[in-house]
Amino acid sequence: MSGTYLGLPSFPAAAREATRDGQLRANLRHATHTIRSKRATAISELTDWPQLRAAGAAIKDHTLRHLDHYLLQLEEAVTAAGGTVHWATDADDANRIITALVHATGHTEVVKVKSMTTQETGLNHALAHAGITAYETDLAELIVQLGNDLPSHILVPAIHKNRTEIRDIFTREMTHWGRPAPDNLTDNPTDLAEAARLHLREKFLTAKVAISGANFMIAETGTLAVLESEGNGRMCLTLPDTLITLAGIEKVIPTWQDLEVFLQTLPRSSTAERMNPYTTLWTGTTPHNGPRTFHLVLLDNGRTDTLADTTGRQALRCIRCSACLNVCPVYERTGGHAYGTPYPGPIGAILTPQLHGTTTPLDASLPYASTLCGACYDVCPVAIDIPDILTHLRERITQGGPTTRQGQKTTIKPAKRHRLEHTTMRTTRWTLQHPTALHHAQKLATHTRKLHPKNPPGTTTKAWTTTRNLPQIPPTTFRQWWQQHQKQTTQPTQHTQQAPHTEKAQPAHNTEQNELTPQTPQTPQNGKSEKGQQNEKGGRQQ
């Protein structure tokens, strides 16, 4: 990994590499299975989980429907509490605003509390470009940063690394960023945590500027909330003089009381904890306590476009708990990098193509990175119907249709890559619409079945036959058997029951006739005679 998302290949190609990396797959499997089963236990403790889930979805839906209102209310409340609100239309805009704010403080170093939104905008690169060094302070983000890597998971960004790999990164890299790793560092988790603690403490005590994300923003009071497990976030949020928070506009909720729902659902869904270890809430600035200056940068970056889509807008309910990643069988085998943005897994597959549009090969491949198995929908604490949105986005890619980009309604054309597929789909649809044509095609297939090659040419077939055999076409279709069966059952005197599988010994050309001949002598006690009576009760023979 090169520490940047630019130039990543489309999902299937990236996934091919990932599925071949045995160590990566083992790390992922272990981590996702552990957290998956813990989460299930944590959820099962709450008898009102379905109600909490519905409440979370309802609060978010209501807020999204009146987003303009709540954002203005939030701005007013934050300003009244001594903060300053900035509006950013896209990633560049956000990075420009934040860079200027940091420059204005006169400092060139900032500490960061884990924020996916800053990953989304590529803030660290923008800051570096402007001569500002950003230090990640979340343990996993620190590992990712030191390793010049990219996060692979929303909640556990370094999920793809094991302890030994982390030890090597610390030993090699810490010295370039500040306090070096202790000599002879082991890969014992306690030792690794201690090394990180010493390294980070220096940063916390010297940093004058902090940059954070936010889990929730309360419109009523102008309060922001960050939920984290290590306490490093709280250091960032309370020690520096200046605090700059970047948050997507969808993070707003109307009232303080609404938090109660999410403070129950988020920790249980993400870390399987009953209560979050560190929940830091702040409202503007407070004299003699915490940062003197507070800036809130509200980011759109494709969110209002997403909001304009009546099916896809559900994705904005997401509270980034990562439960969908941990149950996703595709994520489990590929890890997060294959998804090409900070939002991997099922949520990434629906969010990224909505925020970016579906025009690049990577964005257009993401909605297909799912089997539509539905496990993600089942676990989502705000009930986002991810499979439905995936199908909806596939539609946009293959058929084109109306969409909104940068606030403008446009109609996009079907993606070029899918032209051949579209033709196939149209032809098969036509055949399926015309049963006679279909039956002819089926007959042809069964009659020529002995001639079919084991590995027919064509990229689609190859994609199947590299690891799997094609099913062999049986000598008769069900329809052909049914016609014979019907003749039998409508002539009660010749009544015989077929065993379900009688064709196997018959030569292909002679099947229909053979099927009329019972393979096993019938006894009066068998199911057949009962069936005869029941058929008389039924209506068909009369």
Question: Which residues form the interface with ligand SF4 (CB under 6 A)?
Answer: 269, 318-324, 347, 379-382, 384
| Identity of the residue, 501 or 509, whose beta carbon is nearer to other proteins in the bound complex | 501
Nearest to 211, CA basis, from 130, 295, 312: 295
Residue 416 contact partner, candidates other proteins, ligand SF4, none, CB within 5 to 8 A by sort of partner: none
Which of residues 79, 206, 229, 477 is near other proteins by CB under 8 A?
Answer: 477
Rounded Cα distance, 255 and 236, in Å = 25
Backbone angles phi, psi at 119, to 5 degrees: -65, -40
Task: Write each residue from 332 to 361 as x if it is in contact with other proteins (CB under 8 A), else as -, in one continuous string.
Answer: -xx---------------------------
Residue 481 contact partner, candidates ligand SF4, other proteins, none, CB within 5 to 8 A by sort of partner: other proteins
| Identity of the residue, 153 or 295, whose beta carbon is nearer to ligand SF4 in the bound complex | 153
Which of residues 175, 197, 421, 450 is near other proteins by CB under 8 A?
Answer: 421
Residue 323 contact partner, candidates other proteins, ligand SF4, none, CB within 5 to 8 A by sort of partner: ligand SF4
| Identity of the residue, 188 or 541, whose beta carbon is nearer to other proteins in the bound complex | 541
Which one of 117-125, 195-203, 233-241, 496-504 is the stretch in contact with other proteins (CB under 8 A)? 496-504
Rounded Cα distance, 437 and 435, in Å = 5
Residue 476 contact partner, candidates ligand SF4, other proteins, none, CB within 5 to 8 A by sort of partner: other proteins
Rounded to the nearest whole angstrom, what is the least distance from the CB of residue 395 to other proteins in the complex? 5
Which one of 83-91, 137-145, 177-185, 502-510 is the stretch in contact with other proteins (CB under 8 A)? 502-510
| Identity of the residue, 158 or 415, whose beta carbon is nearer to other proteins in the bound complex | 415
Nearest to 212, CA basis, from 114, 300, 120, 128: 114
Contact 70, 219 (CB under 8 A): yes
Q: How far is CA 424 from CA 155, 361, 418, 460, in A?
A: 41, 21, 10, 12
Rounded to the nearest whole angstrom, what is the least distance from the CB of residue 151 to other proteins in the complex? 20
Which of residues 9, 25, 103, 177 is near other proteins by CB under 8 A?
Answer: 25
Task: Supply the DSSP string of 171-219, one letter for each residue.
Answer: HHHHHHHSSPPPTT--S-HHHHHHHHHHHHHHHHHH--EEEE--SEEET
Contact 165, 187 (CB under 8 A): no
Please give the span between the terminal C-alpha atoms of the chain, in angstroms, as a whole number.
74
Rounded to the nearest whole angstrom, what is the least distance from the CB of residue 382 to ligand SF4 in the complex? 5
Which of residues 471, 509, 524, 542 is near other proteins by CB under 8 A?
Answer: 471
| Identity of the residue, 324 or 355, whose beta carbon is nearer to ligand SF4 in the bound complex | 324
- The residue to which tokens 């096993």 are assigned: 520
Binding of other proteins at residue 270 (CB under 8 A)? no
Contact 199, 104 (CB under 8 A): no
Q: Is 412 helix (H, G, I), strand (E, B) or coil?
A: strand
Binding of other proteins at residue 542 (CB under 8 A)? no
Side chain identity at residue 226, one-letter code: V
Contact 1, 150 (CB under 8 A): yes
Core vs surface per residue 322-340: b (16+ CB within 10 A) or e: bbbbbbbebbbbbbbbbbb
Which one of 123-131, 141-149, 198-206, 527-535 is the stretch in contact with other proteins (CB under 8 A)? 527-535
Binding of other proteins at residue 417 (CB under 8 A)? no
Which of residues 367, 380, 389, 403 is near other proteins by CB under 8 A?
Answer: 367
Which of residues 453, 499, 509, 524 is near other proteins by CB under 8 A?
Answer: 499
Beta strands in 89-188 (DSSP E): 109-112, 133-136
Rounded to the nearest whole angstrom, what is the least distance from the CB of residue 479 to other proteins in the complex? 6
Residue 212 contact partner, candidates ligand SF4, other proteins, none, CB within 5 to 8 A by sort of partner: none
Binding of other proteins at residue 373 (CB under 8 A)? yes
Binding of other proteins at residue 9 (CB under 8 A)? no
Rounded Cα distance, 336 and 345, in Å = 7
CB atoms within 10 A of CB 44: 10
Binding of other proteins at residue 472 (CB under 8 A)? yes
Q: How far is CA 292 from CA 100, 210, 283, 295, 441, in A?
A: 18, 12, 12, 10, 76
Nearest to 293, CA basis, from 277, 282, 303, 309: 282
Rounded to the nearest whole angstrom, what is the least distance from the CB of residue 157 to ligand SF4 in the complex? 14
Binding of other proteins at residue 31 (CB under 8 A)? no
Tokens of 318: 């997401």
Binding of other proteins at residue 482 (CB under 8 A)? yes
CB atoms within 10 A of CB 261: 23
- Window 430 to 469, contacts with other proteins (CB under 8 A): 432-433, 435, 438, 442, 445-446, 460, 463-464, 466-469
Which of residues 30, 197, 274, 429 is near other proteins by CB under 8 A?
Answer: 429
